[in-house]
Amino acid sequence: MTPGARLAAAIEILTEIFARAAAADRVLTSWGRTHRFAGSKDRAAIADRVYTVLRRRNECAYRMDDDSPRALVIGSLAVEGLTSAAVDPLLQDGPHAPGALTQVERAALEHTLPPPAEPWVRLNYPQWLDHELQQAFGARLETEVRALNGRAPLDLRVNSLKAKRDHVLAELARDGVNAAPCRYAPMGLRVASGLDAKVAKLDAYQSGRVEIQDEASQIAVLLAGAKAGDIAIDLAAGAGGKSLALAATMRNEGRVLACDVDAARLTPLAERAARAGAKIIEAAGDPYSLARPGNGADVVFVDAPCSSSGTWRRNPEAKWTLTPARLDEHRAAQRQLLDRANELCASNGRIVFATCSVLPSEGPVQVEAFLERHRGWSVKHATDIWTASTNVAPPTGLGRFGALSPAQDGTDGFFVAVLGRISP
């Protein structure tokens, strides 16, 4: 493919992402399957252009005074330093290229603009989220959002049911994979960039010795404190990553009930559990139909649906496909799941509320509202839990709540709160 054809493909893919509020990686994969002529270098260049636009959308739109997919792709070339004289030949590079600059586009590229004053333009996030992000980060806004706009590392969780971390580290080194222990998670490994697509082909992955899981999620499971013999409920399990981690911390003793309102999301879990040797996981279906197990669960893990604002490094399109109405739906689901957790939890049990979000309304605000609705609960201090269970210094973001972030802790943005019943 010519450079111009690659730009046209990026415009086509961005059009679909924005029109369907679709995941960028899925649209890119689908496009590659239906355009077999595109080689690996073509697909990599197209993906890089798409993700550049998604990470810098507001800058690109500001540069062009236009936020159409074509304008955004042209703007992405400009914010990378290309002039109109360099951009125009690319747009006319062959019959499949986007076509020459219009007079309006040329004028936009040649017009000198002052640096954007608004933080949402400069830092590339939706204007309507400005209040929440200012509330979340305060003086750290610039540093934190720039970190969220970066590229995420790939983290693995070593499956303690099958392997030790140092053994897997040595195995990966023999396979040519450059990895190192995570800073906090005792079973975590961080892989050097560039190997994301290859991990699933490694024997360590196929044999169940490692799973892909960000360090923040591993920290949240550690804070849950599930023990061998416990009954744990993963109330919004999805594909079951937290269920697998819980089964490992429980040493395959007890029960892990994996629930989801969409039963189809649980479908991959049986295969994943078999690969991991996790024998105590049960697909339990809809959490609102689940019978209370015995005297209640020892741990109810609520990994609730959310804005995914903490994963913008991995999924930058999530910034632009989120709407106020959709955020309201997420917050309503979070409230409902917390109330359901209250019903399912044992009198001496714990609720762990977690979201891959940096928005206060999906973290501390939800917890405080739960405590108002259910006066018999209190927050267990996350740093105290961490200190009692590990010799590693706590992540910077831990306090009363766990509020992790890329800039502070090198993890995804993540919120976790551990709730315990107040003794009568």
How is the chain split into domains, by residue range? Answer: 3-113, 154-212, 223-421
Contact of 280 with 255, CB cutoff 8 Å: yes
pLDDT at 198: 80
Where do we find the tokens 């609520």? 302
CB neighbour class for 251 (10 Å; exposed up to 12, middle 13-18, buried from 19): middle
CA 362 – CA 368 distance, rounded (Å):
11
Q: Write a three-state SS string for 53-79.
A: HHHCHHHHHHHHCCCCHHHHHHHHHHH
Query: Cα-flanking dihedrals φ and ψ of residue 355, to 5°?
Result: -140, 145
pLDDT at 423: 74
Closest CA to 242 of 421, 416, 25, 419: 416
* 3-state percent breakdown (helix, strand, coil) of the chain, nearest 5: 50, 15, 35
Give the number of other CB atoms < 10 A from CB of residue 26: 12
pLDDT at 197: 58
pLDDT at 149: 95
pLDDT at 94: 85
H-helix or E-strand spanning residue 188: strand 188-191
Q: What angle do CA 121, 122, 127 make, to 5 degrees?
A: 30
Within 8 A by CB and 6+ apart from 189, the residues are 155, 156, 157, 158, 165, 168, 169, 172, 179, 180, 181, 182, 210
Give the number of other CB atoms < 10 A from CB of residue 4: 19
DSSP state, residue 387: H
Reported CATH class of domain 154-212: alpha beta
Give the number of other CB atoms < 10 A from CB of residue 344: 21
Closest CA to 26 of 17, 34, 18, 15: 17
Closest CA to 61 of 24, 108, 25: 108
pLDDT at 200: 85
Could you give the residue ranges of the DSSP H alpha helices within 82-193?
A: 84-91, 103-110, 119-122, 130-137, 141-148, 165-174
**Sequential pLDDT tens for the chain (424 residues):** 999 999 999 999 999 999 999 999 999 999 999 998 999 899 999 999 999 999 999 999 999 999 999 999 999 999 999 999 999 999 998 889 999 999 999 999 999 899 999 999 999 999 999 999 999 999 999 999 999 999 999 999 999 999 999 999 999 999 989 999 999 999 999 997 666 658 888 999 999 999 999 999 999 999 999 999 999 999 999 999 999 999 999 999 999 999 999 989 999 999 999 999 999 999 999 999 999 999 999 999 999 999 999 999 999 999 999 999 999 999 999 999 999 999 999 999 999 999 999 999 999 999 999 999 999 999 999 999 999 988 889 999 999 999 999 999 999 999 999 999 987 6
- At the topology level, CATH places domain 223-421 in Rossmann fold (3.40.50)
pLDDT at 194: 63
Q: Cα 331 from chain centroid?
A: 17
Instruction: State whether residue 317 is helix, strand or coil.
Output: helix
Instruction: State whether residue 92 is helix, strand or coil.
Output: coil
Closest CA to 157 of 25, 255, 272, 266: 272
